[in-house]
Amino acid sequence: MLTIIWWGTWTRVAHEKAITVDNSIADSKNIAAIVASNLNEVLGRATRYSQIARSMMEGDSSAALQLNPTRDGERAYLRIAVFDQKGNLIESSANRRSEPELLQLVSMARSDQFGTLQDNQLIVGKPARDDRLAWRVPILIPFTSSLQGRGFFTAVIDLGYFLQLYKDVKLGDAGRIEVFTQDGYQLAELNGAMLSGGVDFSTSDFGKSLRHAEDGVINTKRLGMPLEDIGVLRRLQSYPLFVVVTHDQDYLMSRLADRHHDYLWRAIAVSIALVLLLCGLLMVATRQRRLYNVLTASEQEKRNLISQLEQEKTRALLQASHDYLTGVPNRRLFYEIAATEISRAKRSRKLYALFFLDLDKFKLINDTLGHAVGDLLLQGVARRLRESLREYDLLARLGGDEFVILISEMASEGDVARLAAKLVEVVRAPFIDLDGNDVEVSPSIGIALYPRDGQNVETLLTHADFAMYSAKSAGAATYRFFDTSLNASSARETELLGRFKRAIRDDEFCLHYQPRVELQEFTVVGLEALIRWQHPEHGLIYPNDFISLAENNDLIVLLGRWVIDAACRQLAAWCAQGLPVVPVAINVSSRQLKDGALLETVMTTLEKYQISPDLLEIEVTESCFIEDFDTANKVLEQLQKRGVKIALDDYGTGFSGLKNLKNLPIYAIKIDRSFIRDIRNDNSDAVIVASTISLAHNLGLKVVAEGVESKEQLVHLKTAGCDQVQGFYFQRPVAASEMGRLLQRRKFRP
């Protein structure tokens, strides 16, 4: 605030000074213009008088009467005299016999002291050295008469009279109106009411600055003056004189002194008041600060007490809502959270599942090893369950060896079953060194699904408990759904999963083959190897029942290696039989493409059975490129470089873009059977198929249509330009032993 006050004060003072200077300059410009204009008019009359003098010398007798300025009331011209070319006085308005002052000016003109003179050129002489006559200025104008030759008009101009006309102009105590010759000689000066003149400034710095100055504002400092004058110079348009009007800067500033002193005293007073106010505020603030510190200390103490109470409350609530032994929520908290989750499940399209888990023969462990070991076992089970679940799944202990789990947002019953199987395996793993004992325990899990098995927590819990007893009755270490229709598929998956690795080892899997037919000559140009499981109890099992099981349990890579070996082994067998073999295509999943050993497996197997790489084709789906396009593409490029052909299977059902299709190392695309099924009835499918064929051909790719089952489909595809087809119309997938005859024949009749 002090800075603003003093900055504002000094700014105002400086602004007023600048305005005063600007105003004085403007006034000076106006006065200088008026004085110069009037003086120019006075000197202009001298030109007219010189013309009258020339008429007189040419014989006009009446002209002499007009050369008397007093007769016409002319006050600026004191007297007029006319001289001939020899310097003789011809006429004097004062009737003098001689005019020595004017004759001196004529003599100087005749002796060329003013240079070569032109007719009507005004020459200004210097006044006599007399303080009373200092402003009476002699002038001379030469002219040429036709009768007497050169003549001279002379006059004495009273600049004092001229300047007295401006004595009422307010210029201040030191303001001046001055008339100078071109060389800086002061002819006259009006300072207030005082007249002076006859000062020669031609050799001084002041005079030199005036001599070279242009019309306008001048800043000159006279000898003996403390400040520069603020003035304006104005030159006459036609005559060798200029007018200077000046204001004394010291005088101008002195007029502002009282006002500026008031500003300063006012600023001082306001500053003192502000300082006093600030001191008062500081005192108040200091007092308030002390009070605030006291209140803050009191508030902090209160917050500490509240925090302690909250901690105690939280501890009490935790003890009331969580199981003291395992740290997971207890029955009370489970009911509260589960009710909220079930209400949220009403707005979800996914499955929610309630697991009821009971430990088999837990009472026996308690009775034989003691309750301490039983407690450690319960803690270990709770920890394993928590680590196996997602962060937002709810785990609680109801009491004893009973745990409940609320599983949220599951995609299918199969996912729920796989999670239950995982939990069974996790809990069945041995617990090492529980108070010096290695303990094995198995769980039985009952599963109730929302909303199928219940609409609220109580109903779901009751049904899950019932399903848990069904699991115990089935022999424990397993899980059961409350809906018995789900248990059959789950049991079947569990059974198949348990036998999977053994089935690979014992060659329970087999390959069936379906031909790929070229549409020009209907020649067999390739086979697709389709895996089957020849189960000793369930018979022939198709891929839909076990491929997802292999994918979800990290068995697909192992199964893929078996398929590669089996396909190459069969090719070698056909070659040994002398059959004309064609390329065999096998399916490769996205997980196999991530297997770093895939390339080595393929090449090693081909070399093992002495099979040419061009007899083996790899079929991949668009889903293989969703997660990591670059890695999958790199593996396929390496296979292609070694002679293995790559085809894109089930085209149109995935999410690969045209950019990816262009960059893939494939030689053919296989249109999915879903587009072929209604190709004759659904115009959209027909358009999609035609567009796909056109696109593929433009990219230099062959097109294979899958799922061809009728002659109408075949005709439509051939008309659309499809290259090859595959489907039941020509041949269902058959075992290798039945494919020999087809390889011998090599052609179909359409």
Burial class (CB in 10 A: 0-12, 13-18, 19+), 171: buried
CATH number of 331-482: 3.30.70.270
Mention every residue, 6+ apart, whose C-beta is less than 8 A from residue 361.
Answer: 441
| pLDDT higher than 80, residue 576 | yes
Instruction: Tell the residue number behind the tokens 């395992």, with chain if given.
Output: 326
| pLDDT higher than 70, residue 272 | yes
Residue type (1 letter), 598: L
Which range has the worst mean pLDDT, 244-258, 564-578, 635-649? Answer: 244-258
How much of the chain exceeds pLDDT 90, in percent? 30
How far from 695 is each of 27, 680, 701, CA to CA, in Å? 92, 21, 9
State pLDDT tens for residues 287-333: 999 999 998 888 888 888 888 888 777 676 666 678 888 888 988 88
| pLDDT higher than 80, residue 87 | yes
Among candidate residues 326, 324, 400, the one with its CA nearest the CA of residue 362: 400
How far from 220 is each of 175, 182, 206, 374, CA to CA, in Å? 13, 17, 7, 113
Instruction: Pull the structure tokens for residue 134.
Output: 């200092």
Q: Is the pTM of this model over 0.75?
A: no
The pLDDT value recorded for residue 319 is 65
Instruction: Pull the structure tokens for residue 120.
Output: 């009507």
Do residues 76 and 49 lie in contact, with contact meaning Cβ atoms separated by under 8 Å?
Answer: no
pLDDT band at 643 (very low <50, low <70, confident <90, very high): very high
Residue 704 CA, chain-centre distance (Å), reads 49
| pLDDT higher than 60, residue 226 | no
Do residues 36 and 236 lie in contact, with contact meaning Cβ atoms separated by under 8 Å?
Answer: yes
How far is the C-alpha of 189 from the C-alpha of 245, rounded, in Å? Answer: 10
Three-state secondary-structure class, residue 621: strand
Please list the alpha-helical segments (H only) found in 506-595: 547-552, 556-576, 590-594
Mean pLDDT of 506-518: 93
pLDDT band at 658 (very low <50, low <70, confident <90, very high): low
Residue 241's H or E segment, with its range, is strand 241-248
CATH number of 502-745: 3.20.20.450
Instruction: Pull the structure tokens for residue 209.
Output: 């600055």
pLDDT band at 621 (very low <50, low <70, confident <90, very high): confident
Three-state secondary-structure class, residue 580: coil
Instruction: Pull the structure tokens for residue 744.
Output: 């011998």
Instruction: Tell the residue number behind the tokens 């006075």, with chain if given.
Output: 42
Sign of CA pseudo-dihedral 485, 490, 496, 498: negative
Residue type (1 letter), 301: E
Cis peptide before 451 (omega within 30 of 0): yes
Instruction: Tell the residue number behind the tokens 């011998």, with chain if given.
Output: 744
Do residues 420 and 412 lie in contact, with contact meaning Cβ atoms separated by under 8 Å?
Answer: no
The pLDDT value recorded for residue 667 is 92
Which range has the worst mean pLDDT, 190-194, 455-459, 571-575, 656-660? Answer: 656-660
How far is the C-alpha of 122 from the C-alpha of 43, rounded, in Å? Answer: 8
How far is the C-alpha of 6 from the C-alpha of 347, rounded, in Å? Answer: 71
The pLDDT value recorded for residue 582 is 94
Written in H, E and C, the secondary structure of 682-708 is CHHHHHHHHHHHHHHHHCCCEEEEECC
Mention every residue, 6+ apart, whose C-beta is less than 8 A from residue 373.
Answer: 365, 366, 434, 435, 437, 439
Instruction: Tell the residue number behind the tokens 């909220």, with chain if given.
Output: 340
Which residues, listed in sequence order, are joined to residue 489 by a DSSP beta bridge? Answer: none
Three-state secondary-structure class, residue 97: coil
Instruction: Pull the structure tokens for residue 12.
Output: 């105002």
Do residues 227 and 250 lie in contact, with contact meaning Cβ atoms separated by under 8 Å?
Answer: yes
Burial class (CB in 10 A: 0-12, 13-18, 19+), 623: middle
How far is the C-alpha of 362 from the C-alpha of 378, rounded, in Å? Answer: 9
Rg of the Cα trace of the chain?
62
How far is the C-alpha of 359 from the C-alpha of 375, rounded, in Å? Answer: 13
How far is the C-alpha of 627 from the C-alpha of 632, rounded, in Å? Answer: 9
State pLDDT tens for residues 48-72: 888 888 888 887 777 777 787 877 6
Largest separation between any pair of C-alpha atoms in the chain: 168
Which residues, listed in sequence order, are joined to residue 402 by a DSSP beta bridge? Answer: 358, 399
Mean pLDDT of 493-518: 88
DSSP E strand boundaries for 77-163 = 77-84, 89-92, 123-124, 136-145, 149-158
The pLDDT value recorded for residue 222 is 64
Among candidate residues 395, 415, 383, 402, the one with its CA nearest the CA of residue 445: 402
The topology under which CATH files domain 2-250 is: Beta-Lactamase (3.30.450)
Three-state secondary-structure class, residue 71: coil
Residue 294 phi/psi, 5° resolution? -65, -45
The pLDDT value recorded for residue 228 is 63
Which range has the worst mean pLDDT, 207-211, 423-427, 614-618? Answer: 207-211
Residue type (1 letter), 472: K
| pLDDT higher than 70, residue 495 | yes
pLDDT band at 613 (very low <50, low <70, confident <90, very high): very high
State pLDDT tens for residues 712-741: 999 999 999 999 999 999 999 999 988 888
Three-state secondary-structure class, residue 99: coil
How far is the C-alpha of 329 from the C-alpha of 398, rounded, in Å? Answer: 9
pLDDT band at 490 (very low <50, low <70, confident <90, very high): low
How far is the C-alpha of 686 from the C-alpha of 678, rounded, in Å? Answer: 8
How far from 705 is each of 551, 680, 714, 717, CA to CA, in Å? 26, 14, 9, 8
- How many angstroms separate the first and last alpha carbons of the chain? 103
How do 479-481 and 443-450 pair as beta strands?
Answer: parallel
The pLDDT value recorded for residue 316 is 64
Q: What is the DSSP string of 211-251?
A: HTPPSEEEEE--TT-SS-EEEEEEE-SSSSEEEEEEEEHHH
How far from 132 is each of 129, 137, 194, 741, CA to CA, in Å? 9, 12, 12, 153
Residue 214 DSSP one-character state: P
How far is the C-alpha of 593 from the C-alpha of 85, rounded, in Å? Answer: 128
How far from 450 is each of 213, 335, 349, 417, 455, CA to CA, in Å? 106, 15, 11, 14, 7
State pLDDT tens for residues 530-556: 999 998 888 888 888 788 778 877 888
How far from 536 is each of 504, 660, 736, CA to CA, in Å? 13, 43, 20
The pLDDT value recorded for residue 8 is 86
| pLDDT higher than 90, residue 631 | no
The pLDDT value recorded for residue 489 is 56
* Structural domain spans, the chain: 2-250, 331-482, 502-745
- Of residues 218 and 336, more confidently modeled: 336
Which residues, listed in sequence order, are joined to residue 232 by a DSSP beta bridge? Answer: 217, 245
Which range has the worst mean pLDDT, 14-18, 437-441, 691-695? Answer: 14-18
Within a 13 Å sphere around the CA of 691, how many CA atoms are in the beta-carbon half? 10
Q: Hey, do 2-250 and 331-482 end up sharing a CATH topology, with the first three levels equal?
A: no
Do residues 636 and 664 lie in contact, with contact meaning Cβ atoms separated by under 8 Å?
Answer: yes
State pLDDT tens for residues 112-147: 777 778 888 888 888 876 656 677 889 999 988 877
- Of residues 438 and 167, more confidently modeled: 438
Residue 149 backbone class (left: φ over 0; alpha: ψ -120 to 50; beta: rest): left
Residue 355's H or E segment, with its range, is strand 351-359
